[in-house]
Amino acid sequence: MPTPDQLTDAEAERLDAHWRALLYLSACQLYLRENPLLSEPLRPEHVKPRLLGHWGTCPGLGLVYTHLNRVIRNRGLDALCVWGPGHGAPAVLAGSWLEGTYGELNPDTPRDATGMELLFRSFSQPGGLPSHTSPDVPGSLQEGGELGYSLAHAYGAAFDNPDLVACCVIGDGEAETGPLATSWHANAFLDPVHDGAVLPVLHLNGYKIANPTVLSRLPEEELDALLRGYGYDPVHVRAEPGTPHARVHRDMASAMDGALDRIAGIQRAARADNTGGERPHWPVIVLRTPKGWTGPADLDGLPVEDTWRAHQIPLPGVREDPERLRLLERWLRSYGPGELFDDRGRPVEQVLSCVPDGDRRLGAGAHANGGRLLRPLPLPELEPHAVPVQRPGTTAHEPTRVLGGLLGELLSATAGRRDFRVFGPDETDSNHLDGVYGASPRGWQERQLPTDEHLGRHGRVLEVLSEHLCQGWLEGYVLTGRHGLFASYEAFAHIVGSMASQHVKWVHSAREVPWRRPVASLNYLLTSHTWRQDHNGFSHQDPGFVDHVLNKSPDVVRVYLPPDANTLLCVTDEVLRTRDTVNVVVAGKHPCFDWLGLEEAREHCARGLGVWDWAGTERHGREPDVVLACAGDVPTQETLAAASLLRKHLPDLAVRVVNVVDVARLMPPSEHPHGMRDADFDAVFTRDRPVVFAYHGYPWLVHRLAYRRAVHDNLHVRGYKESGSTTTPFDMVVRNDLDRYRLVMDVLDRVPGLSVRAAGLRQSMADVRSRHHRWIREHGTDLPEVADWAWVG
């Protein structure tokens, strides 16, 4: 790696002035509510009554902020920084306030003493700023309240952003998490021709909340071997308590310049022949600093700086203890605020000399406010991909295979602009989405073998067997102004349940920040679902991700259960147009009956739920005797089969069939934006007739969503009740009492008078279920009348 020019003494002094100003502002956010410039002796009433926040990581983050300013200004870089240690929000806020971005976005907080005091007062206080790098923080891309996702986010930001350098500060506590450990592999997917670069900064300050960190205690040669094994070239910067700041600044500047020179060289070589060649070894900076660096060295005879005691508030109880208040004042004055700010609280010229201009400032860049860059997708017309439906339930297609053709056309349509990607954990083929390969191979930078298929250095279909990494990539991608889809086996979406929660919270909070622009939605396609995982068995059978998502902010979450191929096309077209939501689409990959033509599917999806008149036996002018409702492709098939049996055996029974695509329609509008008014809901489901509801997932979710409805006491829901195995497809529904014969029995049990009048029919339904059990054990296949069933109508 080339050796950069050394900093002059004057340059080092200017960098140190910026860094000291940033640290002063960071520490004051934790403590002060008045006297922001310490223009008078510090008194207890100048200090916040509740001290909240984290100091320990701020000095290291501030050092990175200062030196990123320098290289951005000197090199004209297009850069953003992903701040992994989210507890370091005071440092990031301080940097954005110093550069002027914070005051521009929040005009009531100008870059002077008044704004300084408002910043201090608002941090970690009711009605103010959260304690993490939330959407309120200019330049932030993730909150970091839950650790582990920063490096995946940085790579997601770099994909298809060839001019971007995404710096990523990784805390050493965060480096112990599984998602972060997996994220080191992301360089195997970074295309140096079409993508930007990621510069990880592994920040080792030695401690978590109360324990040492693993990587900080590794011998340097072991850590180097680990990082080199991951495909990185480590560069070390080390500071100890008492290390002269000028030396640290010189070492950090040298590391930054060397890393960026190396990145530029890699990209030049790759782009010269447009192939990329062998995967390069990208640089990583290993930054070792004391935890709580420059803060109080000790308290009450115990060390604080460079220990876990510096993690949060290094000097507690300062309002009550005069000696501690004196220590706080000495600490804050050690940064020399009188040298860094003029008498009106404005940063002096030396402090701002390294700060870039305009949108190159870290807090002002468009990539961290991705809605500024977002363009609508050139979505294909649905007609060429739709399946023809002459009569409902007489033909069948694989919904995801049909969707794969649409996604492939979308990848082709975005080939020039490169702002759409498909992500998945090694399941694109398995999920029958392989139609995308005609437009793009799977991205891959490692060596290839003759037996490999559909691999390419410039591919925009990314697969790695880590749901965490797939989701992190997609989050970074959409938050920086692009679009994407994450396809996964339904049962294993739970792996990213906590990530989904964090993203929902981010989007919910970002909606409340006026300067945040809407970004593309995060879209899940959950397939290979519970009801057709009969071959993989119990471990692959779990539909609960929908329950998890619907517990979250109703303004953000949406769940769709399209019953066939054409409704899946329509739902996908809809979710790819949405902004600032998390959309979950559950659809099967196995052959599924075609129920609706394209126009009918469009109308049905627009309604979210509706009556299928052609499937029922209602008498015009009066309410039905029973409502058969369904949500999901397999429950729809079983419901239609049950309706067919009732039509045959009880032709005088008035049956209404209702299909639900948008699950939130079951809720009232007071609880979800897609909820139905009571009058509309009652018109579909009635107020007092029996409703037998066949649902894709856990049945209690439907009860929870519809508990306020007038018909709820007459609502009986069948769904998955945690009974699974390696078995036949139909046995899965029988095991969970979702099969057509059980649904008919439920109708007979709930329509007044039928249980006696149709006792023989009920017994025959129970007999078929018994015969089913014997048949599958003898033949290993489903009953012929089930396997060969089709809708007659």
The predicted-structure confidence for 380-402, as pLDDT tens digits, reads as follows 999 999 999 999 999 999 999 99
What pLDDT, on the 0 to 100 scale, is given for residue 5? 56
Q: Are residues 40 and 164 in the same domain?
A: yes
Instruction: Examine the pLDDT at 145 and tell me if it is beyond 90.
Output: no
Q: Are residues 128 and 20 in the same domain?
A: yes
Instruction: Examine the pLDDT at 468 and tell me if it is beyond 90.
Output: yes
Instruction: Examine the pLDDT at 621 and tell me if it is beyond 90.
Output: no
Neighbours of 397 (CB within 10 A): 19
Domain that holds residue 35: 15-369
CB of 28 closer than 8 Å to CB of 120 = yes
Q: Are residues 342 and 426 in the same domain?
A: no
Question: Given 334, 369, 404, which residue is the final one in a domain?
Answer: 369
Residues 87 and 759: their CA atoms lie apart, in Å, by 66
Residue 658 C-beta-side C-alpha neighbours within 13 Å:
27
Q: Are residues 158 and 281 in the same domain?
A: yes
Find the helix or strand (DSSP H, E) in which 317 lies: none
**What's the pLDDT band for 622 if we cut at 50, 70, 90?**
confident
Q: Are residues 298 and 436 in the same domain?
A: no
What pLDDT, on the 0 to 100 scale, is given for residue 2? 36
The predicted-structure confidence for 739-793, as pLDDT tens digits, reads as follows 999 999 999 999 999 999 999 999 999 999 999 999 999 999 999 999 999 998 7
Q: Are residues 39 and 82 in the same domain?
A: yes
Strand order through the sheet with 582-586: 455-456, 442-443, 461-463, 420-424, 483-489, 522-527, 582-586, 557-560
Contacts 24+ apart (CB under 8 A), 557-560: 557/504, 557/581, 557/582, 557/584, 557/664, 558/582, 558/583, 558/584, 558/662, 558/664, 558/674, 559/583, 559/584, 559/586, 559/662, 559/663, 559/664, 560/584, 560/585, 560/586, 560/605, 560/661, 560/662, 560/663
What pLDDT, on the 0 to 100 scale, is given for residue 420? 98
Nearest CA to 532 among 772, 782, 785? 782
The predicted-structure confidence for 220-250, as pLDDT tens digits, reads as follows 999 999 999 999 999 999 999 989 999 999 9
What pLDDT, on the 0 to 100 scale, is given for residue 4? 47
Encoded amino acid at 320, one letter: E
Supply 562's token pair.
Answer: 């399209």
CB of 422 closer than 8 Å to CB of 484 = yes
User: Which of 411 and 143 is assigned the larger pLDDT?
Assistant: 411
Encoded amino acid at 420, one letter: F
382 occurs within a structural domain:
no
What's the chain's average pLDDT? Answer: 96
Q: Are residues 237 and 340 in the same domain?
A: yes
Q: What phi and psi, each to the nearest 5 degrees, are found at residue 313?
A: -100, 105
380 occurs within a structural domain:
no
What pLDDT, on the 0 to 100 scale, is given for residue 250? 97
| Signed CA dihedral, 423, 426, 431, 433: sign only | positive
What proportion of the chain, given as a percentage, has pLDDT over 90? 94
Quote helix, strand, coil % in the chain, to nearest 5: 45, 15, 40
387 occurs within a structural domain:
no
Residue 564 C-beta-side C-alpha neighbours within 13 Å:
26
286 occurs within a structural domain:
yes
Q: Are residues 585 and 612 in the same domain?
A: no
383 occurs within a structural domain:
no
Residues 605 and 575: their CA atoms lie apart, in Å, by 11
Q: Are residues 577 and 649 in the same domain?
A: no
Question: Given 353, 369, 385, which residue is the final one in a domain?
Answer: 369
What pLDDT, on the 0 to 100 scale, is given for residue 3? 45
The predicted-structure confidence for 23-57, as pLDDT tens digits, reads as follows 999 999 999 999 999 999 999 999 999 999 999 99
Average pLDDT value for residue range 702-719: 97
CB of 583 closer than 8 Å to CB of 524 = yes
In the beta sheet, which residues pair with residue 286? 202, 236
Phi-psi domain of 33 (left: phi exceeds 0; alpha: psi -120 through 50; beta: other): alpha
Provide the CATH number for the domain around residue 655: 3.40.50.920
Nearest CA to 468 among 511, 437, 500, 438? 500
Record the pTM: 0.96
Helices (H), 363-423: 399-413
Instruction: Examine the pLDDT at 279 and tell me if it is beyond 90.
Output: no
Residues 53 and 120: their CA atoms lie apart, in Å, by 12
**What's the pLDDT band for 276 if we cut at 50, 70, 90?**
low
Supply 23's token pair.
Answer: 């640290």
Q: Are strands 282-288 and 298-299 parallel, antiparallel or unpaired?
A: unpaired
Q: Residues 6 or more apart from 163 whose CB is under 8 A from it?
A: 78, 196
Instruction: Examine the pLDDT at 1 and tell me if it is beyond 50.
Output: no
Instruction: Examine the pLDDT at 164 and tell me if it is beyond 90.
Output: yes
What pLDDT, on the 0 to 100 scale, is given for residue 679? 98
Split into its structural domains, the chain has a count of 3
Nearest CA to 236 among 215, 265, 214? 215
Q: Are residues 581 and 658 in the same domain?
A: no
Encoded amino acid at 573, one letter: D
CB of 537 closer than 8 Å to CB of 497 = no
The predicted-structure confidence for 167-197, as pLDDT tens digits, reads as follows 999 999 999 999 999 999 999 999 999 999 9
Q: Are residues 578 and 612 in the same domain?
A: no
Provide the CATH number for the domain around residue 494: 3.40.50.970
What pLDDT, on the 0 to 100 scale, is given for residue 591? 96
The predicted-structure confidence for 102-117, as pLDDT tens digits, reads as follows 999 999 999 999 999 9
Encoded amino acid at 303, one letter: P
461 occurs within a structural domain:
yes
Q: Are residues 672 and 538 in the same domain?
A: no
Q: Residues 6 or more apart from 288 whose CB is under 8 A from it?
A: 204, 205, 216, 236, 237, 238, 239
Please return the burial class of 185, using the count of CB atoms within 10 Å of its CB with bins 0-12, 13-18 and 19+.
middle
Supply 283's token pair.
Answer: 């640089």
Which residue bears the tokens 């002059």?
A: 8
4 occurs within a structural domain:
no
DSSP per residue, 651-685: TTS-EEEEEESBGGGGS-TTT-TTPPPHHHHHHHH
Contacts 24+ apart (CB under 8 A), 325-329: 325/42, 325/43, 325/44, 325/47, 327/296, 327/299, 328/31, 328/42, 328/47, 329/38, 329/41, 329/42
DSSP state of 183: H
Query: Strand locations in 354-509, DSSP E?
Result: 396-397, 420-424, 442-443, 455-456, 461-463, 483-489
597 occurs within a structural domain:
no
Nearest CA to 104 among 348, 345, 357, 344? 357
